[in-house]
Amino acid sequence: MTGDKKPVPEPTLRRLPTYVHYLRRTAQVETETISTSLMAKELKLDPTQVRKDLACTGVTGTPKVGYNIDRLIDAIENFLGWDNVEDAFLVGVGNLGKALLSYERLSGYGVNIVAAFDVNPALVGTSINGVKIIELKKMKNLIQRMNIHIGIITTPAGSAMDVAEKMIDGGIKAIWNFAPISIDSPDNVIVQNMDLYASLAVLSKKLKQQLKHSKRKNR
């Protein structure tokens, strides 16, 4: 234990899963070690950035050789807490909710959905991928009884704030929000927006810049 550390910057946290995906893919076909410059090149990132990101996890490489791929994967997974799964509740069993419930692999990323909630009586009592769908009004009580910390919101925008309030009342500490609405929360509750529209905004803006640029070149 090295005592209190500075919190890791969010862009670093966002890049770490990309490294794991890349490393897992590379581990299947290539050698046992990898250099940060190769990783940076293939992932189109700055090598210094990659080196800094990996340093956050505490792993060390060998000069001129690089990192042992398996050890690097373990270090990042351990750092991200993927070896220490948290239980979560999901609210809103539409297509997006179903998609998340069907991701077998979510628990490999540190989160295990243990129950889902909806207001639709046709869904209540059924299961998806082994996860039971329960009446929404029972959620608050169950959060307390099961000591759940993570709530996932996949409802339409109109119901998201109401669901978030119920979650926070019950004792949820972190909300993963897929509804296209910003959620007010007290300071001790983390809200992570899935930001479908933020991602789309980056994509379409970049595309427009590029199309404009290539049009200009072709004149």
Q: Up-side HSE of residue 60: CA atoms within 13 Å toward CB?
A: 2
Among positions 27, 40, 43, 124, the unique one binding a second copy when judged by CB under 8 A = 43
Among positions 149, 159, 165, 171, the unique one binding a second copy when judged by CB under 8 A = 149
What part of residues 46-75 is at the interface with a second copy (CB under 8 A)? none
Among positions 37, 62, 127, 210, the unique one binding a second copy when judged by CB under 8 A = 210
Among positions 10, 121, 165, 219, the unique one binding a second copy when judged by CB under 8 A = 10
Cβ nearer to a second copy, comparing 142 with 181: 181
Read off the amino acid at residue 123. L
Cβ atoms within 10 Å, residue 90: 29
Residue ranges in contact with a second copy by CB under 8 A: 7-8, 10, 13-18, 21-22, 25, 42-43, 80-81, 84, 86, 94-96, 98-99, 102, 105-106, 109-111, 149-150, 173-174, 176, 180-182, 184, 188, 190, 192-211, 214
